[in-house]
Amino acid sequence: MTTHPTPPAPVPVTPPAPAPATLAATRERLWAALDARDEHAAAATVFAARDAGIPVEDLLLDVIGPVQAKVGREWAAGRLTVAQEHAVTAIQDRVIAALAHRIPGPRPAGGPTGGRVTVACVDGEWHALPARLLAEVLRGRGFTVDYLGAQVPTPHLIAHLHQNGSDTVALSSSLPVRLPTAHAAITAVQAVGLPVLVGGAAFGPDGRYARLLGADGWAPDARAAADLLAVGLRRPGDAPSTPEQGLPHLLDQEYTLVTRTRVQLTRDVLAGLEAKVPAMAAYSAQQRDRTAEDIAHIVDFLAASLYTDDAELFVGFLSWTAGILRARGVPVGALLAALDLLADAQRDFPRARAHLAAGHRALTRIPTPPTPGPHA
């Protein structure tokens, strides 16, 4: 009998990574199209890059994602209005949707093999593009994905899981003020026996708040999230809880009381500012409303820092806000005055006063930009 050697199994061919210069040029073209609010040119740029061989995942994470980050920086610098930022983001979302319908490459035999993942933003979180990018990356890697989009109330998320099933839930949040809501969502999902992966700027650059809130996993970006999900997360109860997952500092009720009095605190600080800052007498109704919104944001971030017991969360927000104000030619004096007024209102709350003092120190260390000279 003649035997024949068994042919070796085919080895998957991984396409070469696109050159950095190619990705950079694609980003520049995409930004130019978005800056002109030209949706057709934006889509044409992305499709041409795909036809030239750039993998869909690289287009999503090395082109569209970084360009969206630039959109945020341009808004922060005052070079894009809120309406323009929304228009650009909407174009990006439609381009992603169109790209998702183009076959990204060979699918695993028999269909998706990576399991079922539910991807959602926590309640109150409107920045959905990071979650959308993750959903498309996971689909490209063979997962079945239920993408629920922005601002998903926790009861609706749990109802979806009961009705449709899932192996894992991936939650996204960009704003730290949503951390208490994220905590509630994490706990609720784990209560139905599913592990939770979290990501987004809200959880800190090193995932510190993900660990604090007891998430089963954290990823700094979509690639890392997909890699982690491919390995699998521990289900709730597989590993013992650690002390850092508790929040014993909440027993002092400071977070609860600041949250409950948010509206009154905002009104009191606004009234105090009007008495301390003479220039506010000339504010229009719109400027006054905007100032009230800014004060409310300060109170919200103070509450979030109390929830996590991390003053650096509050300091980071104030430093970012000071940069926004400077970019718009607004002095930070009113911001310092608002912190003083809040501190007066929190005289019985030692943690809140400590966080406000840390914020005040950080703002006073920010150098005042020089006044432009006659030749500037």
Question: For residue 230, what is the domain's CATH number?
Answer: 3.40.50.280
> Are 262 and 299 within 8 A, CB to CB?
yes
Which of 130, 71, 139, 76 is closest to 102 using CA atoms? 139
**Averaged pLDDT of the chain:** 87
Bigger pLDDT: 51 vs 282: 51
In sequence order, what are the residues at sequence separation of 6 or more whose Cβ sits closer than 8 angstroms to the Cβ of residue 24? none
Is 372 part of any domain? no
Please indicate, yes or no, whether residues 224 and 293 belong to a single structural domain of this protein: no
Bigger pLDDT: 221 vs 375: 221
Q: Which two tokens stand for residue 65?
A: 């994602």
Residue 191 has pLDDT above 50, yes or no: yes
Please indicate, yes or no, whether residues 117 and 220 belong to a single structural domain of this protein: yes
Cα torsion angle, 330, 334, 336, 338, sign? negative
Is 334 part of any domain? yes
Is 3 part of any domain? no
Going by their DSSP bridges, the two strands 168-172 and 217-218 should be labelled as: unpaired
Please indicate, yes or no, whether residues 96 and 147 belong to a single structural domain of this protein: no
Predicted confidence (pLDDT) per residue in 97-144, tens digit: 999 887 554 455 444 567 999 999 999 999 999 999 999 999 999 999
Q: Exposure pattern of 38-58 as b/e (b: 16+ CB <10 Å)?
A: ebebbbebbeebbeeebbbbb
User: Which of 102, 121, 148 is the last residue in one of the domains?
Assistant: 102
Amino acid identity at 226: A
Please indicate, yes or no, whether residues 119 and 241 belong to a single structural domain of this protein: yes
Residue 234 has pLDDT above 80, yes or no: no
Question: For residue 94, what is the domain's CATH number?
Answer: 1.10.1240.10
Predicted confidence (pLDDT) per residue in 355-373, tens digit: 999 999 999 886 554 443 3
Is 13 part of any domain? no
Residue 188 has pLDDT above 90, yes or no: yes
* Residues paired with residue 121 on neighbouring β-strands, in sequence order: 172
pLDDT for position 63: 97
Mean pLDDT of 137-156: 96
Tell me the C-alpha distance between 284 and 271, whole Å: 15
pTM for the predicted model, two decimal places: 0.85
Please indicate, yes or no, whether residues 265 and 333 belong to a single structural domain of this protein: yes
pLDDT for position 255: 97
Please indicate, yes or no, whether residues 45 and 63 belong to a single structural domain of this protein: yes
Predicted confidence (pLDDT) per residue in 272-307, tens digit: 998 888 888 888 888 888 889 999 999 999 999 999
Query: What residues make up the domain containing 331?
Result: 251-365
Is 370 part of any domain? no
Is 6 part of any domain? no
Tell me the C-alpha distance between 228 and 202, whole Å: 19
Please indicate, yes or no, whether residues 143 and 195 belong to a single structural domain of this protein: yes
User: What percent of the chain shows pLDDT beyond 70?
Assistant: 87
